Structure 1
Amino acid sequence: MKYRVIAAGAALVASSSAAYAVGLDRSTRPTGLIFESGNVLEFSLGYTNPSIDGTDGANTPTGNIAESFVIGGAGVRYEINDKFSVGLIVDEPYGADILYGPTSTFLAGTAAKVDSNAITAFGRYKFDENWSVHGGLVYQSLSANVTLSGAAYRGLSGYNAAFSNDSSVGYMVGAAYEIPEIALRIALTYHSEIDHELDTFESIGATPIASSTTDVTTPETIELAVQSGVAKDTLVFGSVRFSHYSATVVSPIGLQGATMNPNASLTDLENAWDAELGVGRRFNDKWSGSVSIGWEQKGSDDLVSPLSSTNGATYLTIGAAYQLNEKTKISGGIRYTDFGNAIANIGGNPVATFDSDSALSAGLRIQYSF
């Protein structure tokens, strides 16, 4: 039973498809490379086209507030011996591209852009064929720009905060249990919070109001991933991930002063859960494929920030992997995401409603063994 080919079709597809997911997630911290065999070099590219539009409190359309985006990734794994391997993973863990168009009376001009990059240096040690541990350091950069605009923000309309790029270090650590004969793997991986100090320039219109440093923490995450062969040429897989987004608060000094609220924040993010379940199938020596369904859940109500106007989701991913030759493997897939209904609010006051929103994602990954 050639489970390794099946696993490629099942697991790589999801991580090579760009996501529009809970919180600010983009690449959802890919870790599949850690569990590959031998020496591997890989490159991935993903594209997402979201459609998120609603109606604001003045009963005018918001237009599509979410812009399409492309994310890239790369990684290398080197096997030092049959017990110890090391590698690097480059990804874009967080991001946002939000802009309310001129049709929205309440929110026209409100915008948020978040960019990030991360490099993870990892190592894995196998005690035997069943038990292993993995871990490493994560070097992460983060920058952002936020504008609040429209009648919903009243005297704060025209506020802008530009957050300069900052880099900081965190870590990830995990363990796995495997039975290679049936492709069973149970892996638990933890990514730490990463604290940033972002130089911040704030203004309202053309008037500067503050120049300071803002502390921002990206969330810790923990993921349990499971896969197992269940029949000849067939593999099932699944995962559960928790993201501690309530720790991500963006409260610059100028915003606190302008609102006379020491707890004022540009974010209103809630802790989030993501679960996925799927099946992979090997068709022949060249081709394998997979299909999976996933769910995202955050918070206990429909209230969200105008800068993050989605509320949970259900998604379907279909993918395939092709073994081009002995050394080269190509995998890819598409994902359709259906978002839950959401009510954008400012200080508890509804300012827009969003329903029937979705996103279409596609991804491609190339792996080369050397």
Structure 2
Amino acid sequence: MKTRLLTVAALLASTASAHAVGLDRSGQRIGILFEEGNRVELSFGYTDPTLEGTTQTNPAFGPLGGQSIDNVGDSFLIWNLGLKYDFNEKLSFALITDEPYGSDVFYPGNPAASLLGGTGATVDSFAVTALGRYKFNDNWSVHGGLRYQEVSAGVTLGGAAFGATNGYSSSFGSDGDVGYVIGAAYEIPAIALRVALTYNSSTTHQLPTSESGLPVPSLNTTSITEVDTPETLNLDFQTGIAANTLVFGNLRYARYSDTVVAPTGFTGLTGNPLTDLEDGYDFEIGIGRRFNEKWSGSVAIGFSTVGDDNFVSPLGPNNGSRHIAVGAKYDVNESFAISGGIRYTSLGDAVSSPGGNPVADFTGNDAISVGVKFAYKF
């Protein structure tokens, strides 16, 4: 059974997986390392989220309660480029670029006449991963390498719900660090079985920080904020269940509780960090089928875990998610293939709660993602 059905499966898993656990976007996929032969892959994913809410009716909010909140989720595009090369039958190499983490949230409205208007967050990242894989035999292999990663961000807090920090703004300049990747895989080629476990270390970033808008002038300063990205664990599996039919899946754990953003001025005033992220899991399972020499297709469903309660930061107003994705792959010839997919994500209901105080309800929201991948074998 040929394993190239996974080209479609991998696309579905990486089609701009918005609103997964924490700030995840690419899922740090390394599937190209297990493809047959030498190849280059280029993929793009676009996500259009809808995150609308309503401020709660509370006597303390006065006329600001019960107001509608227009869409706070900005659409975004991610891309991925990968190269895989076999040195011999046992040793292969892959170079992967991706955008592992991100956020694009902005609350419309006047900060002086709303509870959350003007609040927003952007997170940008870029990573280059160099991996090697060594096959001991047809069943066992190990893989590992280094990842260079850059991160930058910006946060604004607007609206009466933030009290003394209404109007606060911080800018976190870009900084890079090197982490490592290590893993192992077990395969039975005759039935297209593969189970691969991959650990991604955290990286530590010293972000140049500029803060403004705090009521204490001496706290509006420039400093360095140390931020750790989460360590993660990916478990990928697949197996043939019939001729030209494959079941595949992925389980991902991300330790976001270690990702704390605590700029000097804001923490000095409030005693709290800007972020409060929880560890979480993403899970996906699907089935792929090769229809003929040209066409393959797949469908997958999945979810990300919810938090301990529905209270979330205004900078991430959803709690868990469920999704369904479908995709197709067309082999133009023996060397070139095009894959495409679409994914619908139902975003979990949440209560936007700055400082732990419930302010706005976000319910019935979703996101649409589309993606395309071009693969060339040489």
TM range (shorter): over 0.9
Cα deviation 1:120-156 (Å, max 9, x = unaligned): 0100000001100001101000000100010000111
Cα deviation 1:86-123 (Å, max 9, x = unaligned): 12100000011110001771000001011000000100
The residue aligned with 1:39 is 38
Given the alignment of the two structures, is residue 163 of structure 1 paired with residue 162 of structure 2, yes or no?
A: no
Aligned residue identity for 1:240: L
Aligned residue identity for 2:183: G
Name the CA distance, whole Å, in 1 between partners of 2:207 and 2:296: 45
The residue aligned with 1:52 is 51
Given the alignment of the two structures, is residue 288 of structure 1 paired with residue 302 of structure 2, yes or no?
A: no
The residue aligned with 1:243 is 254
After TM superposition, the structure 1 = structure 2 runs for residues 168-179 of structure 1, keeping only pairs within 5 Å, are: 168-179=177-188
Which 10-residue stretch deviates more, 283-292 or 342-351? 342-351
Name the CA distance, whole Å, in 2 between partners of 1:366 and 1:17: 16
The residue aligned with 1:68 is 75
Structure 2 unaligned blocks of 5 or more: 57-64
Cα deviation 1:194-218 (Å, max 9, x = unaligned): 1111010101079671211001011
Q: Identity of counterpart residues, as a percentage?
A: 51
Name the CA distance, whole Å, in 1 between partners of 2:6 and 2:69: 42
Name the CA distance, whole Å, in 1 between partners of 2:256 and 2:277: 6
Quick one: structure 1 residues 181 and 12, their matched pair in 2 at CA, closer, same or farther if it must change by over 3 Å? farther
The residue aligned with 2:62 is none
Name the CA distance, whole Å, in 1 between partners of 2:353 and 2:72: 15
Given the alignment of the two structures, is residue 135 of structure 1 paired with residue 135 of structure 2, yes or no?
A: no
Of 81, 97, 114, 1:90 maps to 97
Paired residue secondary structure (1:350): coil
Paired residue secondary structure (2:314): coil
Name the CA distance, whole Å, in 2 between partners of 1:308 and 1:266: 12
1:289 and 1:319 in contact (8 A); partners too: yes
Given the alignment of the two structures, is residue 122 of structure 1 paired with residue 139 of structure 2, yes or no?
A: no
1:10 and 1:290 in contact (8 A); partners too: yes
Name the CA distance, whole Å, in 1 between partners of 2:221 and 2:255: 29
2:193 and 2:238 in contact (8 A); partners too: yes
RMSD of Structure 2 on Structure 1 (CA): 1.4
The residue aligned with 2:107 is 100
The residue aligned with 2:310 is 302
Cα deviation 1:292-336 (Å, max 9, x = unaligned): 100110322111100011100100010011111110011110000
Aligned residue identity for 1:235: L
After TM superposition, the structure 1 = structure 2 runs for residues 350-369 of structure 1, keeping only pairs within 5 Å, are: 350-369=358-377
Name the CA distance, whole Å, in 1 between partners of 2:229 and 2:350: 23
The residue aligned with 1:152 is 161
The residue aligned with 1:252 is 263
After TM superposition, the structure 1 = structure 2 runs for residues 331-342 of structure 1, keeping only pairs within 5 Å, are: 331-342=339-350
After TM superposition, the structure 1 = structure 2 runs for residues 201-216 of structure 1, keeping only pairs within 5 Å, are: 201-204=210-213, 209-216=220-227
Structure 1 unaligned blocks of 5 or more: none
1:108 and 1:149 in contact (8 A); partners too: yes
Paired residue secondary structure (1:169): strand
2:15 and 2:342 in contact (8 A); partners too: no
Name the CA distance, whole Å, in 1 between partners of 2:375 and 2:148: 23
Relative to the length of structure 1, the TM-score reads: 0.96
For residue 12 of structure 1, report the CA deviation from its aligned partner. 3.1
Of 310, 325, 329, 2:333 maps to 325
